[in-house]
Amino acid sequence: MQRRVTRPVRIGNFMIGGNHPIRVQSMTNTPTEDVSATVHQIHQLVDAGCEIVRIAVPNLNSVTALAEIRKQSTNIPLVADVHFSTTIALACLPFVDKVRINPGNFHPNRDVLKKLFTRAKQEAKAIRLGANWGSIDRMLLAQWGHSTEAVYQSFLPFLEAAHAVNFQNLVLSFKASNVPMTVTIIRQLVEKLDAAGYNFPFHLGVTEAGNGAMGRIKGAIGIGSLLLDGIGDTLRVSLTENPVQEIAVAYDILQATQRRISQTEYIACPSCSRTSFDIQRVLGELKAQTATLKGMKIAVMGCVVNGLGELADADFGCVGAGLGHVNLYAHGRCVKTNIIEADAVRELLQIIVTHE
């Protein structure tokens, strides 16, 4: 799988874009002015694996809070989320590593934009141009219709102002709640951006995805489709839940698309009447015992029908072999036969230790 070639951009301790790992981010949902609650949530997010934390900054009081949040969140890449106001965007810059502005609600006055980009350049900070379908300028929609061109035109004055002052630390994003539309527009948008020489990293997400299983499915399909196209350098899964819940989903999407391997990979059949052992129990026990073996592929298969083919592709595994028994495999080769299922996990763990 080819990854889109993008220019690396520094966000605090992390680089995004280029060949750097696709970074996982989230956003606090505490009142920003409540410094202790926000700092607490930032630390919860980081403990869950979040690598970049975005904070809404709706007013100048929040900027004051942001200064204190910065002090109490040393070394964590922070992003200020700013709408409408260049004054707030400029005021945030000293306290964060990136400022997200929305081209749809920021007046694209060239001098003002040049001032913002110049200051960001002087302070070695990044800017994300984060367009949302719900806030694309009405004039652009009237002129270009509900199209990729309208989104592209929304970015253009910002890209040109950044170019005028040679500011390169840009990240772009486009989000909508409609999954097929998000994917289609981003595919077309990235083609246009690349053709015009704007190879800035892309931030992925499906906005207003809701919660629960459907929220996760929307995020997985939208973000996952683009990752499989090679698009995307950082991502946020948006859920109407505690943002900490977003992090595991983000890593699962990266693992499933094989864009960033951070876990053990399990291959297990759904089981059917040919299954002759308690596959759910064996899989559950194995997962509990092997969760830290990052990148290892372990297969648990009910019978030989698909079992042998899948095991050939796995590092280790077991396949049903008669009532209550399994055969154990290492690197595609059967190494133990007819093990009673109660011993399957213990025996397979021994094989993993011996053969690794």
Binding site for ligand SF4 (CB under 6 A): 269-272, 274-275, 301-303, 305-307
Under a CB-based contact definition with an 8 Å cutoff, are residues 282 and 339 in contact?
no
Residue nearest to ligand SF4 (CB): 302
**Residue whose CB is less far from ligand SF4, 232 or 320:** 320
Query: Shortest CA distance to 155 belongs to which of 117, 102, 81, 115?
Result: 102
**Residue whose CB is less far from ligand SF4, 145 or 309:** 309
Provide, rounded to whole angstroms, the least separation between the CB of residue 285 and ligand SF4. Answer: 18
**Residue whose CB is less far from ligand SF4, 139 or 334:** 334
Spatial strand order in the sheet of 316-320: 265-268, 297-301, 316-320, 325-330, 333-340
Provide, rounded to whole angstroms, the least separation between the CB of residue 326 and ligand SF4. Answer: 12
Provide, rounded to whole angstroms, the least separation between the CB of residue 272 and ligand SF4. Answer: 3
**Residue whose CB is less far from ligand SF4, 244 or 308:** 308
Provide, rounded to whole angstroms, the least separation between the CB of residue 273 and ligand SF4. Answer: 7
Provide, rounded to whole angstroms, the least separation between the CB of residue 279 and ligand SF4. Answer: 8
**Residue whose CB is less far from ligand SF4, 197 or 270:** 270
Where on the phi/psi map is residue 320: left (φ > 0), alpha (ψ -120 to 50), or beta? beta
Provide, rounded to whole angstroms, the least separation between the CB of residue 322 and ligand SF4. Answer: 13
Provide, rounded to whole angstroms, the least separation between the CB of residue 221 and ligand SF4. Answer: 25
**Residue whose CB is less far from ligand SF4, 75 or 273:** 273
Tell me how far apart the alpha carbons of residues 185 and 155 are, in angstroms, rounded to a whole number: 13
Find tokens 């059917």 and name the residue: 272
- What does the DSSP assignment read for 3-72? PPP---EEETTEEESTTSPPEEEEE--S-TT-HHHHHHHHHHHHHHT--EEEEE--SHHHHHHHHHHHHH
Under a CB-based contact definition with an 8 Å cutoff, are residues 141 and 196 in contact?
no
**Residue whose CB is less far from ligand SF4, 164 or 272:** 272
Provide, rounded to whole angstroms, the least separation between the CB of residue 320 and ligand SF4. Answer: 6
List C-alpha distances in Å: 189 to 23, 147, 312, 354. Answer: 21, 10, 40, 50
**Residue whose CB is less far from ligand SF4, 150 or 344:** 344
Show the tokens assigned to 226: 């683009």
**Residue whose CB is less far from ligand SF4, 146 or 274:** 274
Tell me how far apart the alpha carbons of residues 291 and 280 are, in angstroms, rounded to a whole number: 16
Residue 118, φ and ψ in degrees, nearest 5: -65, -45
Under a CB-based contact definition with an 8 Å cutoff, are residues 259 and 229 in contact?
no
Tell me how far apart the alpha carbons of residues 312 and 329 are, in angstroms, rounded to a whole number: 9
**CB atoms inside a 10 Å sphere around CB 273:** 7
Provide, rounded to whole angstroms, the least separation between the CB of residue 302 and ligand SF4. Answer: 2
**CB atoms inside a 10 Å sphere around CB 153:** 18
Q: Provide the residue type at 254 as one letter.
A: L
